[in-house]
Structure 1
């Protein structure tokens, strides 16, 4: 599929960082890459208000903000938005990465970073999610309804808010029902990177997905763990 540059120019990006030099540099690089609609916030409270009002398509969020940290901002945003969130952090701790991805983040970049790398990651995200034929595909599994075209999920007719990565995982399971999917396969398919030792990333996202779609997350009926092999979506009981 050829990537439509018009899709990039129409996307609204929210940059959240109190370091003005970093924000200005990111904005300059993003505009050179074709992004025309860029909004900025210097603190957590302002970013939450902008998200509610402007509804950005993607958020670049620094963790170390002057008022409230980026993790709390992410949790608040996830109450009303599924827009992908790319974390910026001066910390390179594995625990911080896992925490960020676990509470609803979709990517994590450590400072100092290349602005072009951030721009590439953003473009890659939109390229992977570019609408192709426009044909609607929906899935109904138990009390769940999943719409691929709109990105919406309903449980017992109640709207379920998923992060971008959580929705991609659920969709991957829906397209491969009753099939065991390894952590390696899931990570490389969703994150588009080599698996290496990123086992915790998949586990954390699966746990949070279960918390949102399962009646009893500790005893899931949909996304089952197949010990030593991976996970599978069970669409019917095989006794």
Structure 2
């Protein structure tokens, strides 16, 4: 499937020209003419191209909002502002910054680099619902808020044991002995307590967990 780009630009002439150009070069482009058309439920895209000079909220505020909710989605700022202060403000969250006027071939080259970089990074990152797992840095993050989820050593070990055996049911005995390195005693509540605390940190609604599934009378499972 062709890469999909979300393009936010209020200038009708530039927006129409660039949308046509990118479409002719093999991209699927969704063009929004105002930040008011941008909902919190951002469509699944490979890249966001964002103009700074937007009516209402400026592009910096819009970009920060997008990056907070979707930290792995690359953002390319496109603007007539050329001062170093503006560039530094944009690059504080954006992945690239181009000033107008620009050559469309250079823009396409930068788009290819950003999308390729995202693809390379995604091989080390797994999305599990609202949870993003970075295997290289052992980092677990809430991708909706962009915040890290800090687990204790035992909580992390439990979760990674379940995650690395995704879609398989792990018995309480198997899970306990793998994490604690001790024989499991039937009736021991230690694992159950740790699972409860783990859900409080990972689940959107710990009372109705969707990430860590309880298999009654057997054990637990993480489903991908």
- TM-score, normalising length: structure 1: 0.51
* SS at 1:67 equivalent: coil
Distance 1:152 1:13 in 2: 30
**C-alpha displacement of 1:42:** 1.0
Aligned positions, number: 139
**Match in the other structure for 2:53:** 64
What's the C-alpha RMSD, in Å, of the aligned pairs?
A: 3.0
Write the deviation string for residues 76-115 of structure 1: whole angstroms up to 9, x where unpaired.
112211211100111100010001111x111100011112
1:93 and 2:93 are equivalent in the alignment:
no
* Bigger Cα Rg: 2
* Residue 37 of structure 2, aligned match among 33, 39, 46: 46
1:115 aligns with 2:101: no
* Structure 2: distance between partners of 1:39 and 1:137: 26
Aligned mates of 2:125, 2:119 — CA distance in 1:
15
SS across alignment from 2:68? coil
Q: CA 1:65 to 1:136, structure 2 compared with 1: closer, same or farther past 3 Å?
A: closer
The alpha-carbon distance between structure 1 residues 75 and 127, as it changes in their structure 2 partners (threshold 3 A), is: closer
CA contact (8 A) 1:153 1:161 kept: no
Runs of 5+ unmatched residues, structure 2: 127-132, 148-224
The corresponding residue for 2:181 is none
Deviation digits for residues 124-173 of structure 1 (CA, Å, limit 9, x no counterpart) = 222344459x97589xxxxxx7325xx99426xx66728xxxxxxxxxxx
Structure 1: runs of 5+ lacking an equivalent: 1-5, 139-144, 163-239
3-state SS of 1:105 partner? coil
Which 4+ residue blocks in structure 1 deviate beyond 4 angstroms? Answer: 134-138
Query: Are 2:46 and 2:115, in contact at CA under 8 Å, matched by a contact in 1?
Result: no
The equivalent of 1:201 in structure 2 is: none
1:80 matched to 2:69: yes
Residue 16 (str. 1) matches residue 4 (str. 2): no
Alignment of 1:1-239 (within 5 A): 9=2, 11-35=3-27, 37-47=28-38, 49=39, 52-82=41-71, 83-102=73-92, 104-131=93-120, 146-147=134-135, 153-154=139-140, 161=146
**Structure 2 contact 19–31 (Cα < 8 Å) conserved:** no
Identify if the C-alpha distance between structure 1 residues 137 and 54 changes in structure 2 by more than 3 Å, giving closer, same or farther. closer
The structure-2 alpha-carbon separation of the partners of 1:94 and 1:137, relative to structure 1 and needing over 3 Å to count, comes to closer
Asked if the contact 1:43/1:66 (under 8 Å) is kept, the reply is: yes
